[in-house]
Structure 1
Amino acid sequence: MRTYAVASILAAWCLNNTADGLVQQPVARFFPAISHRSGDRAASRSVVIINCRTAACSTALGVIFEEKQTNGQSADPYRSKDEALMQAQSAISSLESALESAVSNLDNMQAQLQLQVVSLENELEATKEELESTRTALEEVTSEMLQTQKEYSQLQLAYDQTLDRANNLESYINQMNEENPPQESKKMENPWQLWTNTKASIPILNEWIAIKGANEGEVQISGKVTSHPVIPDGDAIVTSPVKDPKNTMEGKIITTLSGSKYRLGDPMSMPSSETPSQKVGSSRRRKPLTRVRSSVSLPDLSGKTIGNGKFLLAGDAVSSVNGRSYIQTAYKASPLNKPVGNPLIVKFSSNIDAMKREYVNYEKVSRSLKRGSFIRRVDFLGNAGDEMPNMSALVMQRGVADVKAFMPKIGGKLEGELLLDCALSALKCMESLHSVKLVWNDLKTENFVVIEDERGGISFRGIDLESCMPLRSCPIDYTPEACPPEFAACFMRGDAETFQLDYSYDVWSYGMFLYEIATGRGFFDGSSAQSITKQLPSFVPHVDGVQDLVLADLISRCLSKNPKDRPTVAQISKHEFFASANKNPFDFLFG
């Protein structure tokens, strides 16, 4: 009972004397470490005091509770109040130790967190410095690239200016020759024949054949020439239209509309249709580039200009194949408003966006390492001038004719080295576009023109990059004869806008192109655009008309119905058909 009474008194005293600070004395006695803390821990000490009071009360109450649970045994009457106080002191000491440990742990955690914050701040600062260094390096590389592009543009401009000066010099020389002609010489009527015959001997044409001219009733002679003052012996040429077609017989001397004369030797012996063609990849030595004389007459000046007088227009404007632009012959104008240099072609349209896109596409391939065999651009007029407001114009090198129109003049199709040269030119153009991630989307015979040099040499150049679009984009238009079955099927379902262009699109077009130049006709000649589009999804190409089996194999591969089965440009270039093609050691740089 004595202990019970003492515990009761201690509990009551702790509960009733907290407010007036009396309990702080025993706390100071039992918690000297807490009592002597610095002033910045005053608030924490108040909490400790209250917690100590609670603990003391709990201990006293615990003693009382134990006293009641003695199961009827009376408490030791000799237990002193000091023993009860010692128990309370022991409990309070345990609480103090736990509290001190918790405070120490919190301090350690705070210190660790501060160290981690400092470490993160240092890492963040280092990352910022690395990013700044990377940005600086990127800006330097970008600046170097821009400088390189600027230098390249300057070189290109200098190159174009050099060509223009060469053309001007050639025009000046021609003008001087016309103003001071040699005695007994006649003025040339054919503007494409740059050099006159000075030898007394008449060139002889052997293995010749009469072919239809560009105009109704005209006849031209295709054959191998010897004793020509300019053209090497054995080269094949096509004369200008002859004055008297009835005189085209063996041993006769013919006179062309341009004034040239030729003696007709042995005519060509035509092989039977069952004779197979010789493989291009055979071991025979490749002959020099086939040369053909142009029969194209140049139109007269129309008196109109374009580009605020920069170019003089000649003849009439003709609508392009797709009907979205116009084509017209032009000359560069001299300060005296006279035509200077070789004839040019101007393509102009009110669709300014399409003209800009075509010009940009030309620029992309011209800056590529693989430049392809595209037509030479002379100028781009974003604003065609006061003569043609709201129009843009692209001025280019002028060709003799496009390949589709050219083939009927030389027997209806391309053969031998003409066929190989044309196929190679188209392949290089496709390779150049793919190297800058563009899909041509319009590879066809109408988009290749024949270029003739002053000696009658023939080359082929790609034109019309208006429809070229980036890889995986949607086509803006299409040509039925050149589009693959997968696009036709998509178009017939009404999903053309979801179709994504792939390089295999151009490979199919290339196969159709090869078939046409090898046979002289397309698979769908005479069919309407709607009919072609309907036939394509189920179209199965047959290449029996191609006599060269190696070429037929290449065409079949390109015309595989599954786009994934079609060869890449690199695989096409390694095909056996191109085995005999002369390789330039710098092709890997310039395409």
Structure 2
Amino acid sequence: MKCFFAFKDKFKNKGGSRSAPELQSKSKSDSSAVKRGTKSSSSLPSPRSIQELYKEREQKLRVFTYNELREATNGFNRLLKIGEGGFGSVYKGTIKPSDGQGVPIVVAIKKLNTKGLQGHKEFLAEVQFLGVVNHPNLVKLLGYCSIDGERGIQRLLVYEFMPNRSLEAHLFNRASPTLPWKTRLDILLGAAEGLAYLHGGLDVQVIYRDFKSSNVLLDEDFKAKLSDFGLAREGPQGDHTHVSTAVVGTYGYAAPEYVETGHLTIHSDIWSFGVVLYEILTGRRVLERNRPTVEQKLLEWVKQFPADSGRFSMIIDPKLRNQYPIAAARKIAKLADSCLNKNAKDRPAMSQVVKSLKEATQMSETTAGTSSSSSSGSKSFQRKPK
């Protein structure tokens, strides 16, 4: 899925010193793009910012040398490359503990493309946000390398390694084992709890801004962790209604009001979550141009099969082979519809989404062994993929 930067382009594709990243390094163009929304005559006291929180906690992040990370990846060997995108490349690597003692640690090392300003800004955002947040459903940033030397600028990030790749890889890669129904719900619940924490579990509200299946990573137990905070932003403070930003993200996942106005709120994340709910249900990408015209856009296609209709089961991922409780599937579809409400203020809060997903999970457990078409179906949907 390609990223977009500014919808004006109509979605066309497009050994030195080390120092701790500082938010003050943002360009004027960026600061002007992150204006606060209109406020009323009275102002509420502002909570501490991400920048202030980061200064308190930055010592927890390990600062690596470039040589350490080059050695950890065998010179950034292409055989160790596990991901690539507009941000740069990700490599699997092995680092030594900071004290030099003990068993080496397997990590993921993101080497950012620093040719443009965008890469540097995303690096700063990643370090600032992941240096502050602490939740089991958010990927852990272990450290970074920031060098401005004679050989050029180097920006690298070191994360915990997620051996089961992303939700996207398991949903859409034909070579991957089918994700059972129960595992899909567990992944959704974990991702929702991560978003709920960002929206309401910190001193400052965080808008993730890039929720999509490829950014939901899976650990060895298929536990979901949100990754890639390069586009994250602090939410509106006091009595402000929104944050105004340049429109960036991934086509198909961005909320319509954000695309049209650049006004960013936590409701934008909830729309994106609704899109992924339908990807989980259908096993289809948000946009698939190789399908018939009426089926190419996922959100338009599913409208033909309402959750309460007799045709609803026709949208369910055929790879599930009917091994799912139809009542729970209907509940997920209705939840997705509420997240995709055109009126942003009518979308549920992430805390409500978490509650609904827990209820759907409970429904699935109490109806274990049943399917959409039979009460004596296999229990295969309870197995976790290997």
TM-score interval, normalised by the smaller of the two chains:
0.5 to 0.7
- Is 1:484 matched with 2:261? no
Deviation of the 1:397 alpha carbon: 1.3
Residue 216 (structure 2) aligned to one of 443, 448, 451: 448
Larger proportion of helix: 1
Contact 1:380/1:395, CA 8 A, preserved across alignment? yes
Residue 66 (structure 2) aligned to one of 292, 295, 307: 307
Deviation of the 1:511 alpha carbon: 1.0
Q: Distance in 1 between matches of 2:158 and 2:101?
A: 17
Contact 2:284/2:298, CA 8 A, preserved across alignment? no
Q: Distance in 1 between matches of 2:102 and 2:72?
A: 7
Count of residue pairs the alignment pairs up:
269
C-alpha RMSD of matched pairs (Å): 4.0
DSSP-derived class of the 1:399 partner: coil
DSSP-derived class of the 1:525 partner: coil
Deviation of the 1:505 alpha carbon: 0.8
Q: Distance in 2 between matches of 1:515 and 1:569?
A: 16
Contact 1:308/1:385, CA 8 A, preserved across alignment? no
DSSP-derived class of the 2:228 partner: coil
The equivalent residue for 1:555 is 336
Change in CA separation of 1:379 and 1:149 when aligned onto 2, cut-off 3 Å: closer
The equivalent residue for 1:577 is 360
- Higher relative contact order (CA closer than 8 Å, sequence separation 6+): 2
Contact 2:138/2:226, CA 8 A, preserved across alignment? yes
Give unmatched runs, 5+ long, in structure 2. Answer: 1-47, 236-241, 306-311, 317-325, 366-386
Residue 391 (structure 1) aligned to one of 146, 154, 157: 154
Deviation of the 1:306 alpha carbon: 6.2
DSSP-derived class of the 1:481 partner: coil
Q: Distance in 2 between matches of 1:537 and 1:519?
A: 11
TM-score by length of 1: 0.40
The equivalent residue for 2:181 is 416
Contact 2:212/2:272, CA 8 A, preserved across alignment? yes
TM-score by length of 2: 0.59
Amino acid at match of 1:423: L
Amino acid at match of 1:308: N
Residue 470 (structure 1) aligned to one of 234, 237, 256: 234
User: Structure 1 vs Structure 2: percent identity of aligned residues?
Assistant: 21
Residue 356 (structure 1) aligned to one of 102, 119, 124: 124
Give unmatched runs, 5+ long, in structure 1. Answer: 1-141, 161-304, 491-497, 583-591
Deviations 1:46-83 (A, max 9, x none): xxxxxxxxxxxxxxxxxxxxxxxxxxxxxxxxxxxxxx
Amino acid at match of 2:128: V
Change in CA separation of 1:324 and 1:356 when aligned onto 2, cut-off 3 Å: same
Change in CA separation of 1:581 and 1:428 when aligned onto 2, cut-off 3 Å: farther
Amino acid at match of 2:159: M
The equivalent residue for 2:379 is none
Contact 1:306/1:313, CA 8 A, preserved across alignment? no
Deviations 1:485-513 (A, max 9, x none): 3334x2xxxxxxx5210111111110111
Residue 288 (structure 2) aligned to one of 498, 503, 525: 525
Contact 1:440/1:469, CA 8 A, preserved across alignment? yes
**1:123-522 counterparts in 2 under 5 A?**
307-309=66-68, 311-314=71-74, 315-316=77-78, 318=81, 322-333=85-96, 341-349=104-112, 350=114, 351-366=119-134, 371=135, 373-383=137-147, 389-400=152-163, 401-407=165-171, 408-409=174-175, 411-412=177-178, 414-435=179-200, 436-452=204-220, 457-471=221-235, 472-473=242-243, 474-488=245-259, 490=260, 498-522=261-285
Amino acid at match of 1:566: R
Q: Distance in 2 between matches of 1:308 and 1:475?
A: 36
Deviations 1:265-310 (A, max 9, x none): xxxxxxxxxxxxxxxxxxxxxxxxxxxxxxxxxxxxxxxx962335
Deviation of the 1:153 alpha carbon: 6.5
**1:11-160 counterparts in 2 under 5 A?**
none
Deviation of the 1:321 alpha carbon: 5.5
Change in CA separation of 1:537 and 1:423 when aligned onto 2, cut-off 3 Å: closer
Amino acid at match of 1:515: Y
Deviation of the 1:344 alpha carbon: 1.3
Deviation of the 1:361 alpha carbon: 1.4
Deviation of the 1:465 alpha carbon: 0.7
Contact 2:139/2:226, CA 8 A, preserved across alignment? yes
